Amino acid sequence: MTESALTENPAADTDAADGADSTVDPELRGRALDGILLLLPRVLKRELPEVTENACLFDEVGLTSAATLELILELEDHLDVQIDVEGIDQDDLRSVGTLAGFVAGHVIAED
Note the pTM of the prediction, 2 decimals: 0.79
pLDDT at 31 over 60: yes
Neighbours of 26 (CB within 10 A): 12
Q: How confident is the model at residue 110 (pLDDT cuts 50, 70, 90)?
A: confident
User: How far apart (Å, rounded) are the C-alpha atoms in residues 86 and 47?
Assistant: 30
* 50 contact partners, CB below 8 Å, separation of at least 6: none
Q: DSSP secondary structure string, 43-60?
A: HHTS--S---TT-BTTTT
Mean pLDDT score of the chain, rounded to an integer?
A: 85
In this prediction, residue 27 carries a pLDDT of 97
Residue 21 near residue 101, CB atoms below 8 Å? yes
pLDDT, tens only, 56-77 = 999 999 999 999 999 999 999 9
| d(C-alpha 13, C-alpha 85), whole Å | 25
82: Cα separation from own chain's centroid? 15
